[in-house]
Amino acid sequence: MAHIQLKNISKKFGNHTALTGLDLDIADGEFFVLLGETGAGKTTTLRMIAGLEKPSEGQVFIDGVDVADWGAAERDVALVLQQYSLYPRYTVRQNLEFPLKPKIRRLPDAEIKDRVDRAARTLRIEHLLDRKTDRLSGGEMQRVSIGRAIVRKPRVFLMDEPLSALDAKLREALRTELKNLQMQLGATFLFVTHDQIEAMSMGDKVGVLNHGRIVQTGTPYEIYNNPRDTYVASFVGSPPMNLIDGKLVNGRAVMAPLNFELPFAGGAKTSGGAKTGAATDGRPLVFGIRPEDVYLETGAPVEARVHDVENHGVEKILTLRVGDAMLRATVPARTDVQIEQPVRFAWNPDKVVLFDKGSGISLRHAG
Amino acid sequence: MAAVRTSSEIGFNRVAIVAVLLVTIIFLAPIYWIASTAFKPRNLATTIPPTVVFQPEISPFVKLFTKRSQLRNPASPEEYAAAPWWERVVFDGGEKIVRDGKGQVQWSGYPSRFMNSLIVAITSTVLAVGMGTFTAYGFSRFRVKGEADLLFFILSTRMLPPVVVAIPMFLMYRAVGLNDSHLGLIILYTAFNLSFSVWLMKGFMDEIPKEYEEAALVDGYTRMEAFFKIVLPEAATGIAATAVFCFITAWNEYAFALIMTSRRAQTAPPFIPSQIGSGLPDWTVIAAGTFLFLLPVAIFTFLLRNHLLRGMSFGAIRK
């Protein structure tokens, strides 16, 4: 098990810059999720830790040791990929044995058999051991891939979107399994995904990556409730946080181009909880509010029309139309609304996150 | 799939079958011609119209492998009775087999030429495919400086007909003593096939996901081990296809073999037509030589047919 540290990592591929000034600290035994869109640099980060790619600048430390000169074989990490990580000509057993047989750390045969059997039991793939890998389903393949990683007891598990190619049901099941496995092994996991639900549900810590930069690192709770900027706010959460342009005037949030107002007596809070008060008055801001903090209420301050209703079983997600703006609100499933029906809504002012209009940075973080 | 077919589909199928048959006949006709001539009695080889039905004979092959001389007088009945069956067929043609002082049958030049062909073609194929595979892997997996230029340069060696350089090559070979040697031909054919092999193998290598090797690298294997354990088995199809093409090229090569070799290292292609000789050519012997010459390629291709079919359609089925 290991503690991974990346210091000021940059990576260029020709003229293309994949990563800039990346700092990352993954504690021993932590389930760290790197979240970002396709092309944000997640896989590059992973490959640099694995030793498959060299950083253009900066250092990678595993347990405090700079591993710049270590090849992939010496780093003793395990890599699980989205696909193609199983050898097509081998059976499941041969695939599981493969990581135990390299010259540099070849294990005795009895030990190999023992470890393969144990991994197969853990992942419930014992009945597949003699099957060729091209005769496995997607979920079985991914189990075997994970098996290939756990037979070795590596210092760190690197997972590159291991669940993305699976269908929804299976993804959910494996998500839980993977999280349990990590807790059971007490291992350090670095899990890369573009799926914010995976990130929120599995990670002890989440790092949000955007265009090769770490935008925010924190617990899923922090990321969700206290996004550092509008990018994180709109990327995390489904549906994402509502972001509305406006400014503060005398304890009211005035949505400038849209012409509606909401009460906002509190003023913006800094991370310390102190109020920024009048300092923010009149300044162009972006108001961020999660859909679940938008209420429908008779007598609420703003009128809107229901633009769309998505029924999700336990709840409904309404799209409200105010002027030209669309606003999402999560309401209990029993709420009876029709499309084009006029409704009135309010928000929970305590939950509002203020972002600077220019930089997009949350005032809580900036202050 | 629905089993129902429309009449136009059936009609199209019939046309397609007829077209395929026609093309097959056109391609196979010369081969049939050679094969049938190889078993014909000499007097039926050049009849007009061609003889289609005949009693097949083995005599052309006996003549192909032995040195013969004309009989001034027909063989006596005693001689005839004492001779083994394969010598009698030669007597029937008005010739006898040449023997040395100890009565040993003298072989013709054909077996050694055939052997030379095998040595040169197999060795140069192994070399060209081997080097091509490594080179292609390098180009496919590593950032090579000036990759596009280098690949173009490799390809450019195929841009003019090789015969153009035959005279300078001959002079150079003579200067370093490589003419009429196996090594000389092997170098020549390897060089000639290498560009083809690199390009073909690069295509196949590019199709193998690099994730396989990377997984092996992370698992603690060296690049070399990953190459031999993972990449090579995956590339088997490509290697087989490339090998067949290289082998056919080296096996069939005529012009350089004619110029560069005379006796010791001469291959079968220049030897066979040299047997036409100055007198009346015995076409059955030439056909027999050609027929045997066709077999190795046929066998080689047949053995690798599964790989080949996959290899041919390799680029077509993309993810």
Cα–Cα distance, A322 to A241 (Å, whole number): 16
Q: Is the confidence at residue A266, as pLDDT, over 60?
A: no
Closest CA of chain A from B245, distance in Å: 26
Interface contact B215-A79, CB threshold 8 A: yes
pLDDT digits (tens, 9 = 90+) for A96-115: 999 898 888 788 888 899 99
Closest CA of chain B from A143, distance in Å: 15
Cα–Cα distance, A51 to A354 (Å, whole number): 41
Given A88, A89, A105, which is nearest B220 (Cβ)?
A105
Give the least confident one: A140-144, A289-293, B78-82, B248-252.
Answer: B78-82
DSSP labels for A4-27? EEEEEEEEEETTEEEEEEEEEEE-
Mean pLDDT, range A226-241, rounded to an integer = 90
What is the chain B residue with the closest CA to A13?
Answer: B143
pLDDT in tens, chain B (319 residues): 455 667 777 788 889 999 999 999 999 999 999 999 999 888 787 878 888 888 888 888 888 888 888 777 777 787 777 778 788 887 877 778 888 778 788 888 889 999 999 999 999 999 999 999 999 999 999 888 888 899 999 888 888 888 888 899 999 999 999 988 999 999 999 999 999 999 999 999 998 888 888 888 888 888 999 999 889 988 988 999 899 999 999 999 998 999 888 888 899 898 888 877 656 788 888 899 999 999 999 998 888 887 777 655 544 433 3
pTM over 0.90: no
For residue A14, give both structure tokens. Answer: 């020709």
Interface contact A72-B214, CB threshold 8 A: yes
> Sorting pLDDT into bands at 50, 70 and 90, what band is A279?
low
Which chain A residues are Cβ-neighbours of B214 within 8 angstroms?
A: 50, 52, 72, 79
Do residues A129 and A120 touch, judged by C-beta distance below 8 A?
yes
Which chain A residues are Cβ-neighbours of B228 within 8 angstroms?
A: none
Task: Tell me the ipTM for this assembly.
Answer: 0.77
Cα–Cα distance, A216 to A37 (Å, whole number): 14
The domain spans of chain A are 4-225, 242-366
Domain B110-274 has CATH 1.10.10.10: no
The H or E element that residue A183 is part of is: helix A168-185
Interface contact A148-B215, CB threshold 8 A: yes
What is the chain B residue with the closest CA to A83?
Answer: B211
Interface contact B211-A83, CB threshold 8 A: yes
DSSP labels for B126-147? HHHHHHHHHHHHHHHHS--TTH
More confident residue, A246 or A83: A246
Report how far apart, in Å, the C-alpha atoms of A168 and of each of A19, A35, A164, A250 are: 31, 18, 9, 48
Interface contact A103-B225, CB threshold 8 A: yes
Cα–Cα distance, A178 to A180 (Å, whole number): 5
Cα–Cα distance, A224 to A209 (Å, whole number): 15
We find that the CATH architecture of domain A4-225 is 3-Layer(aba) Sandwich (3.40)
Residue carrying the six token digits 């992939």? A72
What is the C-alpha radius of gyration for chain B, rounded to an integer number of angstroms?
A: 26
What letter does residue B72 receive in the DSSP assignment?
Answer: S
Interface contact A87-B219, CB threshold 8 A: no
Q: What is the pLDDT of residue A162?
A: 87
Given B209, B218, B234, which is nearest A72 (Cβ)?
B218
Do residues B43 and B264 touch, judged by C-beta distance below 8 A?
no
The H or E element that residue B215 is part of is: helix B211-218
CB pairs under 8 A between A and B: 56
Q: What is the pLDDT of residue A322?
A: 85
pLDDT digits (tens, 9 = 90+) for A6-21: 998 899 888 888 888 8
pLDDT digits (tens, 9 = 90+) for A349-364: 888 888 888 888 888 8
Closest CA of chain B from A156, distance in Å: 11
Mean pLDDT, range A162-172, rounded to an integer = 83
For residue B197, give both structure tokens. Answer: 């092999």
Provide CB contacts within 8 A for B285, sequence distance 6+: B60, B63, B64, B275
Closest CA of chain B from A21, distance in Å: 24
More confident residue, A326 or B22: B22
Exposure string for B273-305, b = 16+ CB within 10 A, e = fewer: eebeeeeeebbbbbbbbbbbbbebeeebeeebe
Q: What is the pLDDT of residue B49?
A: 83
DSSP labels for A307-367? EEEEE-SSEEEEEEEETTEEEEEEEETT----TT-EEEEEE-GGG-EEEETTT-BBHHHH-
Domain A242-366, CATH class in plain words: mainly beta
Interface contact A52-B217, CB threshold 8 A: yes
Q: Is the confidence at residue A4, as pLDDT, over 60?
A: yes
Q: Is the confidence at residue A268, as pLDDT, over 70?
A: no
Closest CA of chain A from B68, distance in Å: 56
- Helices B236-252 and B305-312, packing angle to 10 deg: 100
Q: Show which residues on chain A lie within 8 Å of chain B, measured between beta carbons.
A: 50-52, 71-73, 75-79, 81, 83-85, 87-89, 98-99, 102-105, 148, 152
What is the chain B residue with the closest CA to A105?
Answer: B220
Closest CA of chain A from B199, distance in Å: 24
Which chain A residues are Cβ-neighbours of B212 within 8 angstroms?
A: 84-85, 87
Of residues B229, B230, B186, B205, the one with CA closest to residue B135 = B205
Q: What percent of chain A has pLDDT over 90?
A: 21
Mean pLDDT, range A217-225, rounded to an integer = 92
Cα–Cα distance, B313 to A118 (Å, whole number): 42
Q: CATH 1.10.3720.10: which residues of chain B?
A: 110-274
Which residue of A90, A98, A107, A133 to mutate against B (max B Cβ within 10 Å)?
A98
Q: What percent of chain A has pLDDT over 70?
A: 93
Q: What is the pLDDT of residue A274?
A: 45
**E strands in chain B:** 68-70, 95-97
Q: What is the pLDDT of residue A34?
A: 92
Closest CA of chain A from B210, distance in Å: 9
Given B212, B217, B233, which is nearest A73 (Cβ)?
B217
Interface contact B220-A71, CB threshold 8 A: no
